Amino acid sequence: MTLFFVNGALFATWASRIPAVQSQRGLSNSTLGLALLSLAFGALIAMPVSGWFIQKIGSGKLCKMSALLSFAMLPVAIYVPGPELFFAALFCFGLCQGTLDVAMNAQAVVVERQSRKPIMSSFHALWSTGSLGGAALGSALAAQSLSPLSHSLFVTLGLCAGTLLTFPYLLGAGESGESSAGNTQPKPVFKLGHRAILALGTLAFCVMMGEGAIGDWSALYLRKVVGTGEGLAAVGYTVFSITMAGARFMGDTLSARFGPVSLVRTGGVLATSGILLALCFANVPLTLLGFALVGAGFATVVPTVFSASGNIPGIAPGIGLSSVTTLGYLGFLTGPPIIGLTADLLGLRAALGLVVAASVVVACLASAVRCQRRAA
């Protein structure tokens, strides 16, 4: 849970200081976009490869390595001079973050399996909490005119100290059964041909595409379509994030009571209803309520999908997770620009209809999370 909190807080720390970094470096919007793309590209490359590393050394050791490197790379990326080194450092930061994302989820799958009850949603609730906390602290420190470098050093040193205390409790390869030592059969790094991987990957793609769309376009929708002021426009993503975090804290209890399939199907229906409410009734209260419902609907889908992808019979947990995570992250990256291109042709309200379609797919594919559990 500490690793999930730290990962969310670390990324939010970077995201909260992007405007300051852009100003300090004198970056144009297009140059900043390329820099952010290099970070995303690093994460996308790391995710499928992480499955192979998990088989070789175990998720616990990979968590330790990627967490420490993430702590180091954030201040380095902010400090290094010149655009070339800046791009390279952000690429490396993305590599570390993508690796940590897969490794900590693989570790969480093992812990959940050994606990014999649903707990994955609570892990992701801590990621959301860390993200909200990191963003709030970033806003507060930015208001005090603290430099991005000082901010990043303050946060990373504090997070690193807390994370080091948890390292002895992470499961090693021998305890988790993830290592393929002694197995001479070559293992794939990335596996897409399996039907369960494709179904779970599609679920992850749709939900994370929707998350990216709300994150990038909700404020603009409120500002341009609904007609709010700039301050109120930012509230759309806030309510989405708060309801997502809150629902994740309840997700494990709901999964244990109603089952993962019902939880995902209900989440898809709830998200569909929410985005339709926001698009059909373009007034402030109903739009904010709609975004809140989308956050609650999407909240438990990704944790449930990741749990299922680490328990597919015949596929190593690291391989299943890395494959599904990569597809999900691909949706997160490609969804917002696709909506932007569609908005130029049809308008933003029609373009956000893609989130409606994605939510319907989630409800229809809910049965994919019904995967046989491995023995603890």
From first to last of the 376 residues of the chain, give the pLDDT tens digit: 999 999 989 988 888 888 888 888 888 877 887 888 888 889 889 988 888 888 888 889 999 999 999 999 999 999 999 889 999 999 999 999 999 999 999 999 889 888 888 889 999 999 989 988 888 888 788 888 889 999 999 999 999 999 999 999 998 766 555 654 444 444 555 555 578 889 999 999 999 999 888 887 888 888 888 888 766 777 888 889 899 999 999 999 999 899 999 999 999 999 999 999 999 988 899 999 999 999 999 999 999 999 898 888 888 778 888 889 889 988 888 888 888 888 888 988 999 999 999 999 999 999 999 864 544 4
- What amino acid is encoded at 296 in this protein? A
- Residue 186 is predicted with a pLDDT of 44
Q: How many CB atoms lie within 10 A of CB 31?
A: 15
pTM: 0.82
- Residue 183 is predicted with a pLDDT of 43
- Residue 291 is predicted with a pLDDT of 93
State the Cα angle at 91 between 85 and 93, rounded to 5°: 100
Q: What dotted CATH number matches 195-369?
A: 1.20.1250.20
- Residue 292 is predicted with a pLDDT of 94
Domain ranges of the chain: 2-175, 195-369
2-175 and 195-369 in the same fold:
yes
In CATH terms, 2-175 corresponds, of 1.20.1250.20, 3.40.50.300, 1.10.4030.10, 2.30.110.10, to 1.20.1250.20
